[in-house]
Amino acid sequence: MSGDHHDDALISRRVRRLETLLEERGVLSGGALDEAIDAFLAQSSPANGARVVARAWVDPSFKSRLLADGTAAVQELGYMEGSYQRLRVVENTESVHNVIVCTLCSCYPLRLLGPSPSWYKSESYRSRVVREPRAVLAEFGLALPAGTEIAVWDSSAETRYMVLPRRPADTESFPEEELAARVTRNALIGTAAV
């Protein structure tokens, strides 16, 4: 884990240098940059991803569009406007459980999942979930049946992933808002079930 702190420090220095250059060249003031980041983060939440999932659970047509072209489908709901990344949504089924990682850094659909948890960025998670996904999921408290295939999806700068969890049993009569309230960020990453 000590490598994570080194990587974070290196990234922080690079970001600060970029901010300094933008300010020195008059491209952007420090205050404007802070305002832009705050505005972006204010609109970034796992509640957004949860609303996408709940809509997919209640609207089969939306679900089909979401699985075919995640970016376009979430844009219908007002998310990822102007995003240059492609969003791919992978569906958990009775026989396949999906989990997301970014092995190179921590690429992640921020607008839909909120700021990434520290464990997602850790070298330990990034390397172990690829090699031993069942053990890592068990550490999160998710024990899957032995016959369940685990698909690990590696995000990149171009393509981000989100899991469409399985809808909980006996929720057919639940309204969309109540369904969304059951979806957690970890379920959207695949380290938990709903």
- Over residues 46-104, the pLDDT tens digits come to 999 999 999 999 999 999 999 999 999 999 998 876 666 899 999 999 999 999 999 98
**2 confidence band (pLDDT: 50, 70, 90):** very low
Q: Return the pLDDT at 28.
A: 76
Fold of 45-189: Nitrile Hydratase; Chain A (3.90.330)
**Interior/surface letters 78-91, b for 16+ CB within 10 angstroms, e for the rest:** ebbeebebebbbbe
Domain assignments of the chain as residue spans, ordered by start:
1-42, 45-189
Helix (H, G, I), strand (E, B) or coil at 187: helix
Please give the pLDDT value at position 99.
98
Under 8 Å between Cβ of 170 and 144: no
User: Catalytic residue at 44?
Assistant: no
Alpha helices in 145-189 (DSSP H): 176-182, 185-189
105 is in an annotated binding site: yes
Does the active-site annotation cover 122? no
Q: What is the pLDDT of residue 22?
A: 81
Residue with the bigger pLDDT between 28 and 188: it is: 188
Determine whether 102 is an active site residue.
Answer: yes
Residues 34, 16 contacting (CB under 8 angstroms): no
Q: Which amino acid is at 180?
A: A
> For residues 51 and 43, is the Cβ–Cβ distance under 8 A?
no
Is residue 18 pLDDT above 90, yes or no?
no
pLDDT of residue 5: 47
pTM for the predicted model, two decimal places: 0.80
On the 0-12 / 13-18 / 19+ scale of CB atoms within 10 A, 57 is: buried
Confidence of residue 19 (pLDDT cuts 50, 70, 90): confident
Q: pLDDT tens-digit profile of 114-167?
A: 888 999 999 999 999 999 999 999 999 999 999 999 999 999 988 999 999 999
CA distances 127 to 14, 41, 117, 121, 154, Å, are: 24, 27, 16, 10, 11
Closest CA to 194 of 45, 95, 100, 53: 53
User: Are residues 105 and 116 in contact, defined by beta-carbon separation less than 8 angstroms?
Assistant: no
User: What is the structure's pLDDT at 34?
Assistant: 66
pLDDT value at residue 157: 84
Catalytic residue flag (residue 95): no
Quick check: helix, strand or coil at residue 151?
A: strand
* Residue 89 near residue 161, CB atoms below 8 Å: yes
> What's the pLDDT score for residue 94?
96
Is the pLDDT at 106 greater than 50? The verdict is: yes
Per-residue pLDDT band for 108 (boundaries 50, 70, 90) equals confident
Catalytic residue among 105, 118, 124, 127: 105
Whether residue 45 is annotated as binding a ligand: the answer is no
